[in-house]
Amino acid sequence: MAKYIATIVGLGLAVAFVVIFFVGRTETKHLREVAPRVGMSYDDLMAMGPRIVSTTGVTLGTSRHVVYLLACSGLSSKSSLEAQAEQASALAKQQRLSDREAVRAVLAKGGVNPNVPSLKGC
């Protein structure tokens, strides 16, 4: 009888962890959804990644994540996005910052308050 109770309690805990995991995670937006915020298309943003890799030497994942964060913030313009992404990628590599910290630092240099919740949904 004790085995059955322990099994049921274990299954209950496992189900609770799964439910908490899916309820607690934040919703992320797809790059197609954030591209219009900077007046660019999905393909334009995807093409930026390899160019940033070739100029900064970061990984493709880092470059794409930085582009995504800048586009998602809505604080970059079409004309400044690639330059800001290069700065943030280089900063992340040189100072070993996370992509999010590097983007906040670049936005702060541009006069944006780095504590603005603009990256919260990103």
Segment 77-111, tens digit of pLDDT: 888 888 999 999 999 999 998 888 898 888 888 76
Query: Using a CB cutoff of 8 Å and minimum separation of 24, what contacts does 25-34 make?
Result: 26/121, 27/121, 28/121, 28/122, 29/72, 29/121, 29/122, 31/68, 31/71, 34/68, 34/71, 34/72, 34/74, 34/122
Question: What are 12-25's pLDDT values in tens digits?
Answer: 777 666 556 656 55
pLDDT tier at 52, thresholds 50, 70, 90: very high
Burial-class residue 112 by CB neighbours within 10 Å (0-12, 13-18, 19+).
Answer: middle
Contact yes or no for 57/26 (Cβ under 8 A): no
- CA-CA distance, 36 to 19, in Å (whole number)? 33
